[in-house]
Chains A and B, each alone.
Chain A
Amino acid sequence: MEKEQYQQLEQNVTPKPPYFKNVAKAFLVGGLICTIGQAVSLFYMIFFDFTEATVGNPTVATLIFFAMILTGFGLYKKIGQFAGAGSAVPVTGFGNAVVSAAIEYRSEGLVLGVGGNIFKLAGSVVLFGVVSAFFIALIKFILVTIGVVSW
């Protein structure tokens, strides 16, 4: 069988992914996670002394805590299977990536297992986040020094 022939055959056999359905699922579940996040931030604003500007940090921490518990009970992967990007893009997806790696490598010990592998999946997010933040801040600093924009 030729290479092209095989590719033709493969394309005929592969089922078409239901894009529209996937997008709808991701939208609904992602929206639900963000609604929960909004509820958490309202809770912190009403019962504690946080403003809209400062409420972000405790909200993120709480959402990651929720994701941690769900991952530990094995429920987050079910949500992930159903919603795809809808459960991976919010901060809960990041929490899931960290915690699931920690659980997976627990059997290899605390230092070389958990410590060495906890950022296996999420490390790239942290790295690129820090590096891009540094460059954006540098660009903004240069622009402010020239006098194009203000802080």
Chain B
Amino acid sequence: MKLLGIMLPLLVSLSLLSGCGEKEKFIVYGSPENEKEVEAILKEQKFVDKTTVIQYDNSMLVAVQIKPWDKWKKTKLEKKLQKKFDEKYPNKDVFVSADYKIFYEANKIKREQVEDNKLKDKIKKLKNLAKEET
């Protein structure tokens, strides 16, 4: 019972805290070209919760966070989005990821306003990271 007495207030405070996390849900960093279009594509998908898009030169990194119940089909939805972007921008190098790590790093790039020459290396590193399997 003692444990219960410690845990209950903790759980309640945790659930209260999570309510304060409402922030911008759609973020674009880099060149603002066709920002509206990308936003429209992502908003169209009901399973997308938050997104951060990074654009540089001719490529695009799309980091999405999927809503909780849809996370069961994460890889499938990721592939679906990738296909959609590939169709829409056939001459652009688009990389879609639903991984939390990629999303976190993308937000960090936005927050720290990373320079263009470093951006390229960083995104290359992220892409390699996302492909790791074990």
Q: Which residues of A contact B (CB under 8 A)?
A: 25, 28-29, 32, 42, 45-46, 49-55, 57, 82
Contacts and interface: CB of A to CB of B under 8 A. Distances in A.
Contact of A54 (B4, B102, B104, B132): B132
A70 B108 CA distance: 36
Interface size class of B (residues with CB under 8 A): 10 to 19
A53 B4 contact: no
Interface in B93-134: 99-102, 104, 129-130, 132-134
B99 A52 contact: yes
Contact of A51 (B3, B7, B101): B101
B46 to A, nearest CB: 21
Contacts of B132: 51, 53-54
A29 B7 CA distance: 9
Given A25-B4, A55-B101, 16 more contacts: A28-B7, A32-B7, A45-B100, A45-B101, A45-B104, A51-B99, A51-B100, A51-B101, A51-B102, A52-B99, A52-B100, A52-B101, A53-B132, A54-B133, A54-B134, A82-B3
Nearest to B102: A51
Nearest to B2: A82
Contacts of B3: 29, 82
Nearest to A44: B101
A55 to B, nearest CB: 8
A23 B101 CA distance: 34
Contacts of A42: 100
Contacts of A52: 99-101
5 contacts: A28-B7, A29-B3, A51-B102, A51-B132, A53-B133
B15 to A, nearest CB: 12
A42 B99 CA distance: 12
B127 to A, nearest CB: 11
Most buried by B among A25, A28, A32, A52: A52
Contacts of B104: 45-46
A28 B3 CA distance: 10
A28 B4 CA distance: 8
B16 to A, nearest CB: 15
